[in-house]
A = this chain, B = another copy of it.
């Protein structure tokens, strides 16, 4: 029964600086039943970005065709470019029993929950806002202005966290990976993901009940 279960669609969002990238990478490294969805975008690749790894890069015409052919499970424009999640990969992996991770922000997350009510929405946060600020400053790669922009954005994002199924605090990386995995394991025990099992045991029990009703 267990092994036949379809994979779970997992949306991971979180404040910039919450450590999403690291956590997801470690989860993929540690457990083999996860797969990471790669987004499609019309923006230009940045130096070092590889086709099919960071993104699938495409042009506006092809992106819009993909929208029309229902080839994306969600998409949104952002700063003049399109970003979206190709459907085929997600569905294939889930059928194979893999839990598919989407790293997207709240608007996308809500669209996913709307279309896939059984998806699991997880919001990752540092232990405090002060710690978030320290992490952003500690990177040393961003200007004061960029950091302030990210903090303003985080304040906005914090308004939406109740829409998520779980809020996970990324304090120690390894513990956080285990917590995430534990949430996914828990989700597999929800009745919506036990439908076949429930139906089977119900039928069998009814069989027993009928037998004993016979003289």
- A76 at the binding interface (Cβ < 8 Å): no
Closest CB-CB distance, A191 to chain B, in whole Å? 5
A158 to chain B, nearest CB (A): 5
Q: State in angstroms the CA–CA spacing of A194 and B117 once bound together.
A: 22
**Smallest CB separation, A20 vs chain B (Å):** 16
Contacts of A179 in B (CB 8 A): 185, 189
Segment at the B interface, from A24-32, A48-56, A147-155: A147-155
- Given A182-B186, A186-B182 in contact, is the A206-B166 Cβ separation under 8 Å? no
Tell me, yes or no, whether A165 is within 8 Å of chain B by CB: yes
Contacts from A to B (Cβ < 8 Å) = 1-2, 125, 127-130, 132-133, 148, 151-152, 154-155, 158-159, 161-162, 164-169, 179, 182-183, 185-187, 189-191, 194, 197-198, 200-202, 204-209, 212-213
Q: CA A50 – CA B189 in complex, angstroms?
A: 35
- Let me know if A201 and B151 touch, CB within 8 A: no
Expressed in whole angstroms, the minimum distance between the Cβ of A99 and any Cβ of chain B is 15
| Distance to closest chain B CB from A133 (angstroms) | 6
Q: Most chain-B Cβ atoms within 10 A of its Cβ — which of A133, A198, A209?
A: A209
A158 touches B128 (CB 8 A): no
B208 x A151 contact (CB < 8 A): yes
- Tell me if A202 and B167 are in contact (CB < 8 A): no
A167 and B191 contact, Cβ closer than 8 Å, known pairs A158-B205, A204-B129: yes
21 pairs from A and B in contact (CB 8 Å cutoff): A1-B127, A128-B201, A129-B207, A129-B208, A132-B205, A148-B212, A151-B205, A151-B208, A151-B212, A155-B202, A155-B208, A155-B209, A158-B198, A161-B198, A162-B191, A165-B190, A166-B190, A168-B189, A169-B197, A182-B185, A186-B187
Is the CB–CB distance between B201 and A125 below 8 Å? Answer: yes
A154-B205, A161-B191 known; 19 new pairs, CB 8 Å cut-off, are: A1-B127, A2-B169, A128-B201, A129-B204, A129-B208, A132-B205, A151-B205, A151-B209, A152-B213, A155-B205, A155-B208, A155-B209, A158-B202, A166-B186, A166-B189, A166-B191, A179-B189, A183-B186, A183-B189
